[in-house]
Amino acid sequence: MLNSKKIVDLRSDTITKPCQAMRQRMAEAEVGDDVYGEDPTVNELEEKCAKLFGKEAALFVTSGTMANLLSILAHTRGYGRIIMGADAHIQKWEGGGYARFGHVSAALVEQEKDGTISIEKIRKVACHGDFEVPQTTLICLENTHNFTGGKALTRAYMKEVRKVADEFGMKIHVDGARIYNAAVKLNVPIKELVAEADSVTMCFSKGLGAPVGSAIMGSKDFIDRARYDRKALGGGWRQAGVLASAALYGLENAPKTISEDHRRAEHLATKINELKPDDFHVDLDGMTNMVMVECLGRFTSIQLEKELEKNGILSFMYDEKRVRLVVHRCIDDEDIEHVIEVFRQL
């Protein structure tokens, strides 16, 4: 058994721990009280993010969940209905915050395999509203789309959504927890990829490798509202520059680290398809840092997860047929070769 002592943790890109250089940057961060707008490092991060995303303003917040919730609150003010994918992270894994705290209902639409919601389906549920039917005020998209396997949504698709959104007077919010991965994958500047969106979020605590934090980008007015609600939700923080510095470090290194992650993920996926075409399949189309292994018969996803675990590889059983392997900053070429070897021996 090779490397049997070492754990290769592919459950998620959230498990990364700050490296020494990132910790150094955190230790040396200039800080102030961010509720007073006086933390220079937070201000620097927010300015950089606004520029990177081509939006007027940005807000640094605790998590992707809070970023999405604040965005929904700011757009809807508790009015109407939002449209999102049935497997959207907002719908599946955020405690139902949009309904509990945002007081909006949702029209859930089955996504396509590539993580998009078809324009035709959006049109079917979109509604101007009358006395009975709640008006649809917001479309939430996810890029990359987590549940379908980290699929990148294209600029061309965004333009199509903009058209239908305008037709029904809806705003567009992009849950961009991994938007950086999408931009690298598609080789498009982030600001172009989100040009059609009214708001977009990004996580620093995923592929970018920071311990905590997300950002929201949008118009100045929108960000002012989000800042106001962030305080009300207990998300106003003080010397948050310690965390913002880690986010800045992650951002600066992302062009290199994210493309490395994608290269390794693609290599792993290609090898799995080559080695075991009758047992497993990974769809490489639009794939980024997630290797979604579909079990074709000999193994169930529970069995595959257990087999991998016996060999020191942690994965995430997604549903009856799929196991997710996420490549991130703390995974190197040797780890990937180990995973390939284990698949070879299965």
Residues lying near ligand PLP in the complex (CB under 6 A) are found at 63-65, 89, 142, 146, 175, 177, 203, 205, 214
Tell the smallest beta-carbon distance from residue 290 to ligand PLP (Å). 10
- Which has the closest alpha carbon to 176: 147, 134, 140? 140
Chain residue whose CB lies nearest ligand PLP: 64
Q: Which is nearer to ligand PLP, 201 or 311 (CB)?
A: 201
Q: Which is nearer to ligand PLP, 46 or 175 (CB)?
A: 175
Q: Within a 13 Å sphere around the CA of 333, how many CA atoms are in the beta-carbon half?
A: 2
- Which has the closest alpha carbon to 179: 80, 54, 57, 280? 54
Q: Which is nearer to ligand PLP, 111 or 214 (CB)?
A: 214
Tell the smallest beta-carbon distance from residue 323 to ligand PLP (Å). 17
Query: Which amino acid makes up residue 104?
Result: V
Q: Which is nearer to ligand PLP, 34 or 175 (CB)?
A: 175
Q: Which is nearer to ligand PLP, 63 or 199 (CB)?
A: 63
Tell the smallest beta-carbon distance from residue 90 to ligand PLP (Å). 7
| Residue 313 neighbours by CB under 8 Å, 6+ apart | 7, 8, 10, 325, 338, 339, 342
Tell the smallest beta-carbon distance from residue 65 to ligand PLP (Å). 3
In angstroms, rounded to a whole number, what is the distance separating the alpha carbons of residues 233 and 236? 8
Reduce the DSSP state of residue 246 to 3 states and report it.
helix
Residue 324 has φ and ψ, to the nearest 5°, of -100, 135
Residues in the chain: 346
Helix, strand, coil percentages in the chain from 3-state DSSP, rounded to 5 = 45, 15, 40
Q: Which two tokens stand for residue 102?
A: 């945002």
Tell the smallest beta-carbon distance from residue 14 to ligand PLP (Å). 6
Beta strand residue intervals within the chain, DSSP E: 8-9, 57-61, 81-85, 105-109, 136-142, 171-175, 199-203, 214-218, 280-281, 290-295, 313-314, 316-317, 322-326
Tell the smallest beta-carbon distance from residue 82 to ligand PLP (Å). 15
Tell the smallest beta-carbon distance from residue 35 to ligand PLP (Å). 21
Peptide bond into 65 cis (omega under 30): no
Q: Which is nearer to ligand PLP, 64 or 312 (CB)?
A: 64
Tell the smallest beta-carbon distance from residue 275 to ligand PLP (Å). 28
| Residue 142 neighbours by CB under 8 Å, 6+ apart | 84, 85, 88, 89, 90, 115, 153, 174, 175, 176, 177
Q: Which is nearer to ligand PLP, 157 or 280 (CB)?
A: 157
- Rounded alpha-carbon distances, angstroms, from residue 84 to 19, 153, 166, 202: 36, 14, 16, 18
Q: Which is nearer to ligand PLP, 178 or 225 (CB)?
A: 178
